[in-house]
């Protein structure tokens, strides 16, 4: 691949939900009836987001000041939020989402 | 080097918590460059 | 439902698809799955190709795997590459390297969302050129050198595994490492011209075990494109999806707009439609009879009782079809030997299916039966002479070497 941020996410910063995040420019996200498919051009991996709320969170990340706000805005129930944070940590680890540069 | 959520783990392990994300590599599939 | 279950029932759009841009080719590889050589007079125009890309963008296909023939001999190849990327459809293309000079390599290195795959079927010129023609090894290596020098990140080297190159797996890996490339090994199928050489070239049962063992021991960074999932029955399933995605996750668009289930099944039986018809590609993907049928739950037939069915899935439908085996039985290369049994049980006077789509330079002209009225070609300009170009033009090599066609 010609694009720079390619390759699996290695020793990047740990996932921090207090920070603002966004989808990586190396991924394409496509809604499906069952959630969404995410293809990462660098790693060639396909991720499957299994709930509409998670899709909303991930696509909306860049519009929120931090991850918690994005989760709340997507209407995720309190009880589910730890699971969502864990899922998002996984998506950060595999390069699907990145911390936004602070302006 | 099986991914944590291997799409082809044959016997279904009892799923305690429904995972929100599943990751697969499509590299083994025909027609995928 | 697991993702793989969604795949089996078919997705709303392909994840990616193979698009053979042209049947023209500067080489005449003996095992060519698309029987390429000569351009078809009816190939999609630049404008038509762009409107296919527009449609794929609307359907949100992630990327296209461009092949052929040799796609870069189309004069509009670079224009279509840029157009596709500009319209959010990534491009991965397969090439024999003929046009990848330093300038193009540098251009590719500056381009995002493009992947390049160089075909190579021998770790030495002797083994490679026997199948792909004189000079083809050098041409491929030169392309790899140019890409490496230009800083293009990780091209793929794609190898069709044959009886003659199985012993070279370690050397293939070294070549890949040397050029900062990733090795991808693919399965020879009795498709296209592959049917004519399959008996002679397909790996022996002992070699299949050898490949499997090698993949388990050293295949960590090696891609198994075009599927070796039938090898999974040797033991642990190989990494990767190991699933036939034909008509469900992927498909083929051929140079004249015919849509097939997969590139190894270029035959009427696996033709879903032509995208020049009303409704275009989307109509075919969503509603064609063939794809609807492929998306029905598979029962496994004779293979269902085998303990390895889950990972093997009965192997490859194209391999079965072109060896005259029933689709609901074992793959001809079934590692448990059931394929050999099935082959032996075939009628003695059976003639295996053969595709009528043949653009080999050795084939008689008019070997393709037109399926649709020929479109008016006003202002089409001069025919493409690229198929008569020496494979070594542009590469600075000795052009006195005869093109592979002379052997065909």
What percentage of residues in chain B have a pLDDT greater than 90?
Answer: 9
Minimal CA separation from B9 to chain C, in Å: 9
Distance CA C265, CA C20 (A): 13
Phi first, then psi: give them for residue C158, nearest 5 degrees.
Answer: -110, 120
Asked if B22 and C3 come within 8 Å (Cβ–Cβ), the reply is: yes
Asked if B23 and A48 come within 8 Å (Cβ–Cβ), the reply is: yes
Residue A6 lies in a domain: no
Minimal CA separation from C225 to chain A, in Å: 13
Give the global pTM.
0.84
Q: Choose among C239, C251, C310: nearest Cβ to B25.
A: C239
Asked if A48 and C6 come within 8 Å (Cβ–Cβ), the reply is: yes
In tens, the pLDDT along C271-307 reads: 999 999 999 999 999 999 999 999 988 777 888 888 8
Distance CA C30, CA B26 (A): 28
Question: Which residues of C fall within a CB distance of 8 Å from A33?
Answer: 12
In tens, the pLDDT along C8-62 reads: 777 889 999 999 999 999 999 999 999 999 999 999 999 999 999 999 999 999 9
User: Sheet containing A35-40: which strands, arranged edge to edge?
Assistant: A27-32, A35-40, A45-49, B21-25
- In this predicted structure, what is the pLDDT of residue C129? 97
Q: Choose among B17, B23, B25: nearest Cβ to A83.
A: B17
Q: Best residue in C67, C183, C194, C241 to probe B by mutation, most B CBs within 10 Å?
A: C241
Asked if C15 and B26 come within 8 Å (Cβ–Cβ), the reply is: yes
What percentage of residues in chain B have a pLDDT greater than 70?
Answer: 45
Token pair of C168 as six digits: 């070279």
In tens, the pLDDT along C215-234 reads: 999 988 898 876 787 888 88
Asked if C239 and B31 come within 8 Å (Cβ–Cβ), the reply is: no
Q: Range of A95's domain?
A: 16-25+51-99
Q: How confident is the model at residue B9 (pLDDT cuts 50, 70, 90)?
A: very low
Question: Which residues of B fall within a CB distance of 8 Å from A95?
Answer: none
Whether C259 and C274 have beta carbons less than 8 Å apart is answered as: yes
Q: How confident is the model at residue C151 (pLDDT cuts 50, 70, 90)?
A: very high
Token pair of C57 as six digits: 């963008």
In tens, the pLDDT along A30-77 reads: 988 878 999 999 988 899 999 999 999 999 999 999 999 999 999 999
Q: Choose among C1, C60, C112: nearest Cβ to A30.
A: C60
Residue A40 lies in a domain: no
| Residue C12 at interface with chain A, using a CB cutoff of 8 Å | yes
**Can you tell me the ipTM of this complex?**
0.85
| Residue C348 at interface with chain A, using a CB cutoff of 8 Å | no
Question: Which residues of C fall within a CB distance of 8 Å from B29?
Answer: 227, 240-245, 249-250
Distance CA C184, CA A89 (A): 31
Asked if B21 and A47 come within 8 Å (Cβ–Cβ), the reply is: yes
Q: Choose among B3, B7, B30: nearest Cβ to C226.
A: B30
Question: Which residues of A fall within a CB distance of 8 Å from B24?
Answer: 45-48
Q: Best residue in C93, C183, C225, C244 to probe B by mutation, most B CBs within 10 Å?
A: C225
CA angle at C90 for the pair C87 and C95, rounded to the nearest 5°: 125
Task: Indicate the range of A34-43, C107-116, C125-134 predicted with least confidence.
Answer: A34-43
Residue A36 lies in a domain: no
Question: Which residues of B fall within a CB distance of 8 Å from A54?
Answer: 20-21
| Residue C156 at interface with chain B, using a CB cutoff of 8 Å | yes
Question: Which residues of A fall within a CB distance of 8 Å from B26?
Answer: 44, 46
| Residue B26 at interface with chain C, using a CB cutoff of 8 Å | yes
**Range of B9-13, B16-20, C319-323 with top mean pLDDT:** C319-323
In tens, the pLDDT along C335-348 reads: 889 999 999 988 88
What residues have CB less than 8 Å from B16, skipping those under 6 apart?
A: none
Token pair of C175 as six digits: 């070549």
Minimal CA separation from A3 to chain C, in Å: 5
Distance CA C239, CA C214 (A): 13
Query: For B33, which residue in chain A has the nearest alpha carbon?
Result: A44
Residue A67 lies in a domain: yes
b (16+ CB within 10 A) / e for C336-352: bebbeebeeeeeeeeee
Beta pairing, strands A27-32 & A35-40:
antiparallel
Question: Which residues of C fall within a CB distance of 8 Å from B1?
Answer: 220, 239
Residue A71 lies in a domain: yes
Q: Hey, how many other C-beta atoms are within 10 angstroms of the C-beta on A93?
A: 15
| Residue A79 at interface with chain C, using a CB cutoff of 8 Å | no
Q: Choose among B21, B25, B27: nearest Cβ to A49.
A: B21
Tally of structural domains, chain A: 1
Q: Choose among B20, B23, B26: nearest Cβ to A83.
A: B20
Rg for chain C, CA atoms, rounded: 20
Q: Is residue C126 classed exposed, middle or buried when 0-12, 13-18 and 19+ CB atoms within 10 A define those classes?
A: exposed
């Amino acid at each position: 691949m010609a694009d720079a941020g390619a390759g699996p996410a290695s020793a990047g910063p740990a996932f921090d939900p207090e920070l603002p995040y966004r989808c990586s420019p190396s991924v394409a996200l496509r809604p499906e009836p069952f959630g969404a498919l995410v293809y990462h051009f660098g790693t060639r991996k396909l991720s499957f987001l299994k709930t509409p709320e998670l899709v909303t969170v991930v696509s909306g990340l860049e519009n929120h000041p931090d991850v918690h706000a994005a989760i709340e805005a997507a209407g995720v129930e309190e009880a589910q939020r730890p699971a969502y944070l864990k899922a998002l940590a996984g998506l950060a680890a595999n390069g699907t989402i990145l911390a936004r540069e602070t302006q | 080097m099986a991914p944590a959520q291997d799409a082809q783990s044959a016997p279904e392990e009892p799923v305690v918590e429904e995972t929100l994300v599943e990751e697969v590599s499509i590299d083994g599939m025909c027609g995928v460059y | 439902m697991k993702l793989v279950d969604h795949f089996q029932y078919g997705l709303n759009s392909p994840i990616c698809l193979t698009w053979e841009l042209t049947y023209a080719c500067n080489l005449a590889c003996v095992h060519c799955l698309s029987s390429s050589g000569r351009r078809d007079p009816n190939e999609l125009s630049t404008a038509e190709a762009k409107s296919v890309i527009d449609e794929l963008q609307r359907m949100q296909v992630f990327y296209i795997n461009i092949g052929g023939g040799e796609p870069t001999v189309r004069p509009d190849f670079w224009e279509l590459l840029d157009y596709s990327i500009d319209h959010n459809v990534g491009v991965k293309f397969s090439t024999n390297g003929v046009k990848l000079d330093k300038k193009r390599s540098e251009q590719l290195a500056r381009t995002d969302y493009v992947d390049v795959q160089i075909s190579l079927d021998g770790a030495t010129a002797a083994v490679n050129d026997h199948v792909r023609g004189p000079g083809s090894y050098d041409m491929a290596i030169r392309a790899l050198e140019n890409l490496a020098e230009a800083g293009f990140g990780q091209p793929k080297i794609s190898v069709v595994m044959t009886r003659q190159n199985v012993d070279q797996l370690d050397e293939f890996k070294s070549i890949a490492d040397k050029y900062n490339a990733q090795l991808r090994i693919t399965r020879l199928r009795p498709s296209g011209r592959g049917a004519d050489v399959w008996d002679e070239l397909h790996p022996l049962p002992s070699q299949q075990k050898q490949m499997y063992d090698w993949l388990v021991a050293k295949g960590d960074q090696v891609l198994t494109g075009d599927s070796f999932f039938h090898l999974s029955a040797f033991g642990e399933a190989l990494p990767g999806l190991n699933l036939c995605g034909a008509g469900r996750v992927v498909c083929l668009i051929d140079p004249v707009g015919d849509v097939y289930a997969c590139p190894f099944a270029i035959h009427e039986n696996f033709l879903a439609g032509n995208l020049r018809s009303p409704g275009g590609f989307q109509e075919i993907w969503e509603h064609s009879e063939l794809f609807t049928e492929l998306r029905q739950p598979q029962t496994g037939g004779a293979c269902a009782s085998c303990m390895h069915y889950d990972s093997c899935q009965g192997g490859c439908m194209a391999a079965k079809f072109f060896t005259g085996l029933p689709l609901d039985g074992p793959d001809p290369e079934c590692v448990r030997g059931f394929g050999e049994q099935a082959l032996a049980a075939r009628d003695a006077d059976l003639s295996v299916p053969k595709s009528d789509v043949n653009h080999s330079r050795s084939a008689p002209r008019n070997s393709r039966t037109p399926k649709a009225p020929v479109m008016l070609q006003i202002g089409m300009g001069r025919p493409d002479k690229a198929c008569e170009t020496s494979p070594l033009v542009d590469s600075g090599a000795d052009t006195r070497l005869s093109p592979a066609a002379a052997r065909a």
